[in-house]
Structure 1
Amino acid sequence: MKKYLLLLTCSFISIFGSYSQSKKDVEVLKNTIWKTENLGNGLVWQYFHFQQKELFESNQSIHILKSKLKNKTVKFALGSADIHHKESDTTRKLLKTSLIAATSNALVAVNGGFFNTKKGGAVDLIKIDGKVLDTATYNPRKALPDHSRSAIVIHRNKIAIVKGDTLPFWERKLSEESIMVTGPLLLFDDKEEPLKNNAFTNNRHPRTCACITKTKEILLITIDGRNTEAQGMSLQELTFLTKNLGCKNAINLDGGGSTTMYIKNKPDHGVVNFPSDNKLFDHFGERSVSNILMILPK
């Protein structure tokens, strides 16, 4: 009986402590005075470096790009390191987000979906302006990986986040002109999506995500990590952040060393966050990637 009461007490403390921390983090985010810059073309850049272990009892560096969904001065688009790839080609390119963005004349961009680090090319469906560049490489006999169950789609300059299926090849039913299958999905219709209990989900890493807010804006978000200045987030923490930023739908993109935010005409080749591949808290640790999510001048 005493052992049972001890376990019950410990559980209560754990739950209460978690609740108290969440309540504290809500207040921290609510009271944050973001450093904000109007980039023109209806685009806004916000940034804040949470220090002294303010957020999630950790240091965090968060960058956000905002645009109204109905922004008539820009075009939402996907970019690829090998946009002119031929199916007969066996060698695929990997290029830095900033280089793909600059070559595409993007106003802003973030890295995109997951890719093959050795052979290049995305591991899920990538379709750009009607041309399929990559198809799924998962094993159709096994359960779909989390990054293969949702997507960002663009059609007639309308961008949306869609929830997929657990069945293989569900993405073949998508008809939009541009498609990036990625994941896992974090929020959908203002509800938290279930996340797997594994190291990818639970450990803190640099993260990139996109979300659609209740006020009909799109947010492109990067979370720096793998540094004492910025520890990164678990997917639970990222979900919590997007929810408190007013997101209705939110989707995870490739993270880790890939996490990069680009803004045209900014120093350091336009890289404004702190990519982690060089293990330094500077702007020069970009990892080469296969594809990006970007906003172009219309």
Structure 2
Amino acid sequence: MKWIKANNEFDSLPASIRIFKTSDSLNGRPFRAWCAEVKLKDKQLDFTAQTGEGNSYTPSEFYNREGKPYIVVNGGYFSPQTRQNLNLIMREGKIVAYNVPALKSLLSDSFYYATRSAFGISKNRQADVAWVFTDTAKRWPYGFQTHPIIAKGSNPDPSFTDLHTIEQWNWWKMHTAIGGGPVLVQEGAVFITNKEEQLYAFERNDRHPRTAIGYTRNHRLIILVIQGRSPGIAEGATLDEEARILVDLGCVEAINLDGGGSSCMLINGKETIVPSDETQRPVASVFMVLRGRKSETGNRRSEVRGLKSEVRSRR
């Protein structure tokens, strides 16, 4: 797939953010997508997630509410009725939204305990993908690194012991995290856990607009948005097609985020893909790349030095 650098289509961006677009066909079908590649180690940048705190907003509204970040992209799944986030979200090292703890079985009175996937960035800017189980009584999520846990039970509000697992886990101590699912890439190869996460269990081959997030071995954040439901222009992608694109982009690990009409990425406030509803859908969470606090502090110090210098010259 041929990607064209598109930084010049937006207002000034730091050198550590590169934007690409493609309109190549995908398996003989019309296709459009955008990709952001961001250096995770650039301390002039910050990475964070935000919720609507019980409300939903369009990405453009989040952009204006959050101080006009460089990048705003839609986050995980949510209830359109209650606007409740259904996936883990962490902000500044604190859990601000939890995974849905249990899914009711359609065939019995039991519940399915899903360990759904999340993308996180630690305080020292190391990215990771894990399948996580959240407990409101715990400071950190339980993280599983190699595969999701499959568990069932009768408790509608399970604790970790209800998983009945002896699989290795770790406290997933992320500074920023956004949940979604399913996992698409692990160890640099296509690895899709839609059935285990109970996401698109029977819809793996459907084509839709998509949003995904991952990272490369050389510490680059990758955000991919795929346009869809635009007949004759862009037909979207299946989970497998989305995963293969992410592998081609060099991702070591990557997950799918909410897609369909929610898929939207703004660069300096400007849309990339055209939303499938033709207008931006209000969402309950976003992931953002913004100017770092150290950078803002440095700019304020420069302004102060400039003012002092001006005062001295006037004297």
The TM tier, using the shorter chain, reads: 0.7 to 0.9
Percent of aligned pairs sharing the same letter: 26
SS in 2 for 1:75: strand
Of residues 175-184 and 286-295 in structure 1, the stretch that sits farther from structure 2 once superposed is: 175-184
Work out whether 1:109 is the aligned partner of 2:72.
yes
Of residues 54-63 and 153-162 in structure 1, the stretch that sits farther from structure 2 once superposed is: 153-162
Match of 1:63 among 6, 29, 34: 34
How many Å separate the matches in 2 of 1:93 and 1:172?
32
Q: How has the CA–CA distance of structure 1 residues 33 and 137 changed in structure 2, closer, same or farther, with 3 Å as cutoff? A: closer
Match of 2:251 among 235, 241, 247: 247
- Which 5+ residue runs of structure 1 have no aligned equivalent? 1-28, 83-91, 279-284
SS in 1 for 2:7: strand
1:209-253 deviations in Å (ceiling 9; x for gaps): 012123321111100101111100000000111111111111110
Work out whether 1:210 is the aligned partner of 2:213.
yes
The 8 Å contact of residues 222 and 273 in structure 1, kept in 2 or not, is answered as yes
Counterpart of 1:133?
Answer: 96
Structure richer in helix, relative to its length? 1
SS in 2 for 1:251: strand
Aligned length: 244
Match of 2:23 among 30, 45, 49: 49
1:129 Cα offset (Å): 1.9
Work out whether 1:142 is the aligned partner of 2:111.
yes
Q: How has the CA–CA distance of structure 1 residues 196 and 296 changed in structure 2, closer, same or farther, with 3 Å as cutoff? A: closer
**TM-score, normalisation: structure 2:** 0.71
Q: Who wins on radius of gyration, i.e. which is larger?
A: 2
- Which 5+ residue runs of structure 2 have no aligned equivalent? 104-109, 132-147, 152-158, 161-168, 196-200, 293-315
1:289 Cα offset (Å): 0.4
Counterpart of 1:185?
Answer: 183
1:174 Cα offset (Å): 2.4
1:159 Cα offset (Å): 4.9
1:152-196 deviations in Å (ceiling 9; x for gaps): 123226152322231576799423233322211111111321444
How many Å separate the matches in 2 of 1:76 and 1:257?
24
RMSD: 2.3
One-letter amino acid of the structure 2 residue matched with residue 257 of structure 1 = G
The 8 Å contact of residues 201 and 235 in structure 1, kept in 2 or not, is answered as yes
Of residues 124-133 and 41-50 in structure 1, the stretch that sits farther from structure 2 once superposed is: 124-133
Match of 1:219 among 222, 239, 243: 222
One-letter amino acid of the structure 1 residue matched with residue 271 of structure 2 = V
